[in-house]
Amino acid sequence: MISVSRAASRQDFVIAAGFCEALGALDVELGRDHGVPAEIVMALFHGENHESLARKYGAGEAVMFLARWQGAPAGCIALAPFRTDAMEIHKLYVDPAFRGRGIGNLLMQRVFGEARKSGRPTMLVNTASYLKSAVCLYEAFGFTHCPPFRSVPAEISHTEVFMSRPL
């Protein structure tokens, strides 16, 4: 029913870009109620297109995965090195039509398998407090809150959540 594969083709990254666009729209919509300026959120976290995603996650240790439900695109997740001692999760999104089917769990399992290959001892994630489902999923996978590992503009610092866990 669910399959997860590495994004490799132009079409894969076009699909991933669509998911990233939906994630950006959700981030802006939910952030609005918390006084988060849309232009900052978009500039910092959601400015990619299929070409920039392919450049960033199509080679080396950085990778993007797509989940499919019975062949239909259902979600994505990305992983990239952070400094020399960690891997960082990016772009976790499951289409609302496919939520509740274990897709997020499977994407997380796949990204953990990939991260372990890096030999880096730590996994990181930076999300927003109002993306409650994501925070809950990360906590279910053993992430705990940690000090910020990057600076963020003051206008969004009140909603930023930094989490880590050992690999």
Question: How many Å apart are CA 80 and CA 132, to the nearest integer?
Answer: 23
Q: Count the domains in the chain.
A: 1
Residue 165 CB: number of other CB atoms within 10 A? Answer: 16
**pLDDT tens digits along 76-118:** 999 999 999 999 999 999 999 999 999 999 999 999 999 999 9
pTM of full prediction above 0.85:
yes
* E strands in 9-129: 63-69, 72-82, 86-94, 122-128
Q: Which of 75, 69, 58 has its CA nearest to residue 6?
A: 58
**pLDDT tens digits along 32-53:** 999 999 999 999 899 899 999 9
Supply the range of the domain harboring residue 105.
2-166
What CATH number does residue 110 fall under? 3.40.630.30
Provide mean pLDDT across the span 45-68: 95
